[in-house]
Structure 1
Amino acid sequence: MFNKVIISEDFDSINLAVIEVLKECKIHEVEYTKYCDDALLKIKRALLDETPYDLLLTDLSFIEDHRVDTLTLKSGEDLIAAVRAIQPDIKIIVYSIEDKSYRIKSLFENHDIDGYVMKGRNSVPELKNALTLVYNSDQKYLSPTITHVLQDKTVNEIDNYDLELLKYLSIGVAQDQMESQFKMLNISPNSKSSIEKRINKLKTYFKANNTIHLIAISKDLGLI
C-alpha cells in the first residue's frame, strides 16, 4: 500500500474522515493542507529531500478566504497540473462532489489522474476501493455512479475555440461584439460570419433553442 500521502482539502471534517480511511488501509504517513499552494510546496520539499509522496489526494474546489489574492493555484485542477509537471509518476486521486462530464473527462485525458471518487453516501468504501485498485494495478478508478463519463462522446467534437466562444458568451459578451473581442485577443477565426457559423453549429450540436439555452447546457456539462 502507499507509504506517504498528501491530502489537499479545505474542510477539516472531510480531512479527518479521509485520514481515518487511510489509517484503515495501513497508510500511516499522511499530511494534509487546506491550500493548493501549500500542497505544492510540501511536494517540492519532499522531492528535494528525496522522500517523495506516493499519492496526492485532492478536492477540486476550494472556498476563497483572506489568502485568495496571494495564492497561485486556485483549484485542485491547477494543483494537479503543477504537480504532474514536477513529479510525473505520482499517483493522483480526486475526491470531489463535482459531477460535470467534461471536467472529469478532462482530468483523465489531459492530466492523467488515476482515480476519481465522488463525495457522497458511499464515498468511504469507494475511496478504499480506489486506493487498492490504483496501488495494485495500472487501472483507473471511477465511482460507479459516474462510470458513463469516460464513454460519453457528447463533447468529443468541442475544441478550444468553441470553449472560448462559450466562455465569452457566458460572461455577457454579445454575439455582435465577439468579432472585436477575438481580434483584440488574437483568437482566430475572428470574422463576424465565422463566429456566427460556429455559434449556430454549437446550438445545433447541443440542440439549444437559443444562446441562453446553449450557455445553460454548456454549464451543465462543465464546459464553462
Structure 2
Amino acid sequence: MNKECSILLVDDHELVLDGLTRVLETAFAYGEIVGFSDAQQVCDEIKRKNYDLYIIDLQLKGMSGFELITSIRAVEPNARIIVATMHEEVWTVNRLVEMEVDGIVLKSSASEHIVQAVNTVLSGDRYLCPRFCHLKNQYVSKYLCRAKKMTPLTVQEKLILKYIVDGYSSREMAETLSLSENTIETHRKNLFVKLDVRNVAQLVSVALQTGSVNDKFSI
C-alpha cells in the first residue's frame, strides 16, 4: 500500500475498531486509515471524500452493513469493499455472495487474513478468508443434498411459497390468487411438511437456501 492509499474502517465496537486500526498501521507503513463507529457518520463522510478501500462490519448503529454498502455504492459504484463480520449464519453467507463485495473476512480468523484481504483487494483481486470458503462449501453441500431429498413442490405450492417469502398474509394471497383462505392454509401445511420446517421463519430460510422459490441455489 502506498502513501496515496486511504482506508475507511467502520465497526460499532471501539475495541474492535482500535484493534483493526493497529493491525493495519503495523502492516502498512504508509497511507491514511480512518475509523468510524457510526454508519451515519460514514454516509456523511463519503459525500465529502472517496476512499480507496472500505472495511465494514455488518452490525452497525443506525443501519445494517448491507444498507451501508448500498449507500456507498450509490455514491461510488466502483468502491472496493471488504466485509469483516462475526456472523456466520447461512443467510449472511448467501447475502454476502449476492452483494459481490470485494473481500470477506470472518472475525474468527487470524489478523493476518485482514492484511491479506487488503493487499489482495487493493491489487484488484477478490479475497475470501479460508473460514468463509469452508462455510460456503459446507452450506452448499448440506443444502443441495437437502434439496435433492425434498418432495417436489407443485407449481401452485411454489407460487404460494414465493408469496410467503415476499411477506404476504394468507388473506392477501387468497385475494391475489382468487382462492379461499382454507385452500391457502392447506398449501401452507403441505409446504411445512415437504420442507420439514416448524414455522414461517424456517420455511422462508429453507426456501431461500435450497432455491425452492426460483429453482436456483443462491450460494
Q: Is the 1:55–1:91 Cα contact (8 Å) retained in structure 2?
A: yes
Deviation at 1:136, TM superposition (A): 2.0
User: Counterpart in 2 of 1:143?
Assistant: 129
Equivalent pairs counted in the alignment come to 187
Q: Is the 1:40–1:83 Cα contact (8 Å) retained in structure 2?
A: yes
Amino acid at match of 2:71: A
User: Counterpart in 1 of 2:92?
Assistant: 103
Amino acid at match of 1:215: A
Deviation at 1:76, TM superposition (A): 0.8
Q: Is the 2:56–2:84 Cα contact (8 Å) retained in structure 1?
A: yes
> Which of residues 73, 86, 89 is equivalent to 2:78?
89
> Which of residues 65, 75, 86 is equivalent to 2:64?
75
2:112 corresponds to 1:117: no
Task: Give the unaligned 5+ runs of structure 2.
Answer: 148-157, 210-219
Supply the distance in 1 between the matched residues of 2:37 and 2:80 (Cα, whole angstroms): 19
Q: Is the 1:105–1:149 Cα contact (8 Å) retained in structure 2?
A: no
Deviation string 1:132-191 (CA, Å, 9 cap, x unpaired) is 22222423x222123144444438x998644335xx8xxxxxxxxx323557xx9x5584
Supply the distance in 2 between the matched residues of 1:58 and 1:89 (Cα, whole angstroms): 16
Supply the distance in 2 between the matched residues of 1:42 and 1:54 (Cα, whole angstroms): 13
User: Counterpart in 1 of 2:40?
Assistant: 37
Q: Is the 1:6–1:56 Cα contact (8 Å) retained in structure 2?
A: yes
> Which of residues 3, 10, 13 is equivalent to 1:11?
13
User: Counterpart in 1 of 2:60?
Assistant: 62
Who wins on radius of gyration, i.e. which is larger? 2
Q: Is the 2:12–2:38 Cα contact (8 Å) retained in structure 1?
A: yes
Supply the distance in 1 between the matched residues of 2:11 and 2:53 (Cα, whole angstroms): 14
Deviation at 1:20, TM superposition (A): 1.2
Q: Is the 1:59–1:96 Cα contact (8 Å) retained in structure 2?
A: yes
Amino acid at match of 2:55: L
Aligned-CA RMSD value = 3.3
